[in-house]
Amino acid sequence: MNLVIDIGNTRAKLAVFKQDKLVFSLISDHDDINKNIDKLQEEYSLKNCILSSVTNILTDVELKKFDKFVQLDHKTSIPFQNKYDTPMTLGVDRIALASAAARQYPKQNVLVIDSGTCITYDFINSKNEYLGGAISPGINLRYKSLHQFTANLPLLEQASYKMIGTNTKSSIHSGVLNGFIQEINGIIKQYNSEFSNLTVVLTGGDTNFLAKKLKSSIFANPNFLLEGLNSILIYNLNE
């Protein structure tokens, strides 16, 4: 059994895999990570572990006893060729997403769209080369920026919207949400024009919302990052 730990900006995800199959997952506050690891170790026969963190949060998980422990960084062995100009600056979350694409869609052009605090676009081609992508503000960041950097616009939470806003609040919702969706549709269209037989994977916290709104045919998979981390762990076990 493999333990996958993904520490994000606000919370962490812990998942148990049996080979490629996701057996169990949970969301944890940062303060409860080690407690939840202990519980999972008691319930499952965990032999291997991979840790990915986009924060500076310290954890003693590396001190726990695993046959194989991998802390993901730019030096970790990965199942694709990294063509990024500055590989040492490539986020571990983006490395994991590209790894999932390489393992699940071999010899295909794949665009992975991860919508969370930020929205990231990551592209791996049919030659198994990671070329890069883009980073853009996520939905909540767009709402916050309109409020924080203007004098009179209110801070709103995501809600339903219509194309033509008829008051300030509905105009903000239209600008943020419709603009967000049109951005993604536009970027998918650009990639489709450059690369044949493009596979598009959508993941992240906004997966369910976006899957219903996007024009293009996509594969929606909220667990894609966890699966990518597990694929890196398996790759390192087989080296």
Confirm or deny that 186 is annotated as ligand binding.
Answer: no
Reported as a single tens digit per residue, the pLDDT across 101-135 is 999 999 999 999 998 889 999 999 999 999 999 99
Share of the chain above pLDDT 90, in %: 69
**Of 36, 42, 45, nearest in space to 13 by CA:** 36
Is the confidence at residue 42, as pLDDT, over 90? no
Q: What is the mean pLDDT of residues 21-49?
A: 89
| 3-state secondary structure string across 83-130 | CCCCHHHCCHHHHHHHHHHHHHCCCCEEEEEEECCEEEEEEECCCCEE
Give the fold, CATH level 3, of 73-239: Nucleotidyltransferase; domain 5 (3.30.420)
- Confidence (pLDDT) at 61: 63
Q: What is the mean pLDDT of residues 167-195?
A: 94
- Confidence (pLDDT) at 9: 74
3.30.420.40, 1.20.120.450, 3.20.20.70, 2.60.40.10: CATH of 1-71: 3.30.420.40
132 and 83 Cβ atoms separated by less than 8 Å: yes
Residues of the chain with CATH 3.30.420.40: 1-71, 73-239
The residue from 29, 32, 67, 93 that is catalytic is: 93
Confirm or deny that 73 is annotated as ligand binding.
Answer: no
Confirm or deny that 29 is annotated as ligand binding.
Answer: no
- Which tokens is 177 given? 């949400």
Annotation marks residue 93 as catalytic:
yes
- Confidence (pLDDT) at 54: 79
